[in-house]
């Protein structure tokens, strides 16, 4: 099973999202479509919060494509103006990123990440835990992502050896999905995929262009 997730970060409005989706869906190869419908491949779209529901509507009838939030509130429902609580995602998104390096830079400590993780789980949303270092690992996570800070948005990809070494520093959990993120694009993905070091990728900048993102996926099949 392979996972390829698009993290749009703070990009795109509804018109751009519609255009993206139309171009993306027409550029996915027959092989990728087969992999999506047989569940050999899971693609994820992580748009900005206001686009979660529109993207959910655009993907009706498509199989193998999940929708996720880029973050959730550390609090449950309540008096928290501006925060997106995990239970409000029900019926729209199935996953949520917690502990992304950019949120950690804005002040999310590991204890805040734990709270967000727990709120997502309480709401039956699958939390995806991003780690820059192995002390940011969360044991019960179903999906974890190694994203070294220097590789995010820099054009520099971690070497297969480094990714392998990082993975081997974590507890050996057969059922845990391990992804890599950091400057993955339709070129850099080729060497990563041939090494079989991870279950898939979290893609930022290279997911903004629907053709490049479709190519990236097509090349992994």
Q: Which sequence positions are flagged as catalytic?
A: 100, 147
Q: Does the protein bind ligand PGA through residue 152 (CB under 6 A)?
A: yes
Smallest gap from Cβ 142 to ligand PGA, in A, equals: 18
Sorted by sequence, the CB contacts under 8 Å of residue 165 that are 6+ apart come out as: none
Q: Does the protein bind ligand PGA through residue 153 (CB under 6 A)?
A: yes
Considering only residues 123, 192, 203, 214, which one is a binding residue for ligand PGA as defined by CB under 6 A?
A: 203
- In terms of Cβ atoms closer than 10 Å to its own Cβ (0-12, 13-18, 19+), residue 89 is buried
Considering only residues 202, 212, 214, 216, which one is a binding residue for ligand PGA as defined by CB under 6 A?
A: 202
Smallest gap from Cβ 181 to ligand PGA, in A, equals: 4
In the DSSP assignment, the letter for residue 158 is P
C-alpha distance from residue 27 to each of 30, 61, 215 (Å): 9, 17, 8
Helical H runs in 2-51?
14-27, 30-37
| Per-residue binder mask for ligand PGA (CB under 6 A), 171-190, x = binder | ----------xxxx------
Smallest gap from Cβ 100 to ligand PGA, in A, equals: 6
Q: Does the protein bind ligand PGA through residue 48 (CB under 6 A)?
A: no
Q: Which is nearer to ligand PGA, 127 or 181 (CB)?
A: 181
**Exposure b/e, 140-164, CB count within 10 A at least 16 = b:** ebebbbbbbeebbeeeebbebeebe
Q: Does the protein bind ligand PGA through residue 70 (CB under 6 A)?
A: no
Tell me the residue nearest to ligand PGA as measured from the CB. Answer: 204
**Stretch of 21-29, 34-42, 191-199, 201-209 contacting ligand PGA, by CB under 6 A:** 201-209
Dihedral sign from CA coordinates of 143, 95, 182, 187: positive
Rounded to the nearest angstrom, the gap between the alpha carbon of residue 123 and the centroid of all alpha carbons in its chain is 18
Query: Pick from 129, 31, 30, 21: which is nearest to 72 by CA?
Result: 129
* 3-class state of residue 185 by DSSP: coil
The count of residues interacting with ligand PGA (CB under 6 A) is: 13
Smallest gap from Cβ 60 to ligand PGA, in A, equals: 26
Q: Does the protein bind ligand PGA through residue 47 (CB under 6 A)?
A: no
User: Residues in the site for ligand PGA, rule: CB under 6 A?
Assistant: 7, 147, 152-153, 181-184, 202-206
């Amino acid at each position: 099973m392979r996972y390829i997730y698009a993290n749009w970060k703070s990009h795109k409005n509804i018109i751009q999202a519609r255009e993206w989706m139309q171009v993306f869906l027409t550029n996915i190869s027959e092989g990728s479509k087969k992999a999506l419908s047989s569940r050999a491949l899971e693609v994820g779209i992580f748009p900005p919060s206001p686009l979660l529901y529109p993207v959910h509507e655009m993907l009706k009838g498509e199989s193998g494509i999940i929708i996720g939030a880029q973050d959730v509130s550390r609090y449950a429902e309540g008096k928290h103006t501006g925060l997106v609580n995990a239970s409000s995602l029900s019926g729209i998104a199935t996953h949520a990123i917690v502990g992304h390096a950019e949120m950690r830079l804005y002040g999310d400590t590991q204890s805040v990440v734990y709270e967000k993780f727990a709120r997502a789980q309480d709401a039956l949303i699958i939390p995806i835990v991003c780690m820059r270092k192995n002390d940011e690992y969360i044991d019960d996570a179903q999906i974890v992502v190694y994203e070294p800070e220097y590789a995010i948005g820099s054009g520099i990809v971690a070497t297969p050896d480094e990714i392998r070494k990082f993975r081997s520093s974590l507890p050996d959990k057969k059922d845990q999905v391990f992804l890599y993120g950091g400057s993955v694009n339709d070129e850099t993905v080729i060497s990563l995929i041939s090494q079989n070091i991870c279950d898939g990728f979290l893609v930022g900048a290279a997911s903004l262009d629907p053709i490049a993102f479709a190519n990236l996926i097509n090349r992994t099949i």
